[in-house]
Amino acid sequence: MTSDYKKTAEKLFALADVKIDGDRPWDIQVYNNNFYKRVLAGGSLGLGESYMDGWWDCADLDQFFCKVIEARLDRHIRKDPRALFMAIRAKFFNLQTSKRAFQIGERHYDTGNDLFTGMLDKRMVYTCGYWKNAKTLDQAQEAKLDLVCKKLGLKPGQKILDIGCGWGSFIKFAAQRYKVKCVGITVSKEQAELAREMCKGLPVEIRLQDYREVNEKFDHIVSLGMFEHVGVKNYKEYMKVVRRCLNDNGLFILHTIGSTSLENKPDPWIERYIFLNSILPNARNIIEASNGLLLMEDWHNFGADYDLTLMQWFKNFDKNWPKISANYGEKFYRMWKYYLLACAGGFRIRSNQLWQVVFSKDGVKGGYNSIR
């Protein structure tokens, strides 16, 4: 029976030009014969969980995922009932209610500041860098932060809201460089604690708060890498909060990973092990949610830059792993490596995008000047 599963798996992976026990960087080495049945039955979950368990390996996971995603092997694999359950749950239930809002902070962003300090740039920016003229991760992240400031047209003394402020990288940069006042909100206790320390002495307030609780006016609003946690059923309410809190002449920048699929289905492995209750928006979601509330002024896609960012994150994580390994263990290392390199492959093949969308409340008089 094992040989039948193996033959089927070999034919399947051959569609993506991946050979089992081959010698090319993107070929996979199988160490447990139960792998074949597990991946054929479990799809994304089976593939990821068997990797975490050490049942298979690959010299270059990012290249492997480029080939697998491009060949759409997911369409050929029978879905695990757990994956079907997750898809149904995401479609019919609101998994991102205010009562559940802090779960992603506890499960992902509170994992450990030592992990993220060793993985990210010096400013601790956990979103895509802007590599147009950059050669290092530090340069790419500073360029991205400055790009956002320029798109907003920040002026000294203005008050800015950062929805999902992380460790305070953007508001610290904006307060120092553009002399603005900032309020940052996050659902992660670990992020809030470190953000307050990093922004000490600046006109910055860090709150442990759900976005739905904010009810005050700001000159501009930014949200960098948080919209992925909002959920389809809450997109309209999210945009209503932005309109309620934005001054009449203010701008809002939505920086988010975007999906090319219209199905709004979470990846089962990513949803279970990395980003609980999260889902990627598509362009239609954003347009429909903002319609009648905000006017879109600009839409900038630099998704290919996330490949470069993720590869640098993995390089940093791998280099610094010996310093933190005692806190996490080998299975965590394999999980985190899989996460970073699978995502890099997805952005490289352009199955995922990175969008910066600029909105105004009722239109910029004379038109908005797009900045790149």
**What is the mean pLDDT of the segment spanning 180-185?**
98
> What is the per-residue pLDDT across 348-372, written as a single tens digit (0 to 9) for each?
999 999 999 999 999 999 999 999 9
Identify the pLDDT of residue 160. Answer: 98
58 among known catalytic residues: no
- Domain spans of the chain, in order of start: 2-79, 100-338+348-360
CA distances from 272 to 221, 291, 305, 335 (A): 31, 32, 26, 11
**Per-residue DSSP letter, 227:** G
Identify the pLDDT of residue 90. Answer: 39
**What is the mean pLDDT of the segment spanning 21-36?**
96
**Poorest-pLDDT segment among 44-48, 108-112, 124-128:** 108-112
> What is the per-residue pLDDT across 190-206, written as a single tens digit (0 to 9) for each?
889 999 999 999 999 99
Q: Which of 281, 174, 169, 167 is nearest to 218 (CA)?
A: 174
Q: Which of 227, 318, 313, 319 is nearest to 275 (CA)?
A: 227
Model confidence at 263, pLDDT cuts 50, 70, 90, reads confident
**51-56, long-range: CB < 8 A, 24+ apart:** 51/334, 51/338, 52/273, 52/331, 52/334, 52/335, 52/338, 53/331, 54/334, 55/30, 55/31, 56/28, 56/29, 56/30, 56/31, 56/32
Give me the catalytic one of 128, 149, 245, 343. 343
Identify the pLDDT of residue 112. Answer: 78
pTM of the entire structure? 0.89
Q: How far apart are CA 31 and CA 12, in angstroms?
A: 18
> What is the per-residue pLDDT across 268-313, written as a single tens digit (0 to 9) for each?
898 889 988 788 999 999 999 999 999 999 999 999 999 999 999 9
Model confidence at 144, pLDDT cuts 50, 70, 90, reads very high
- The dotted CATH code for 100-338+348-360 is 3.40.50.150
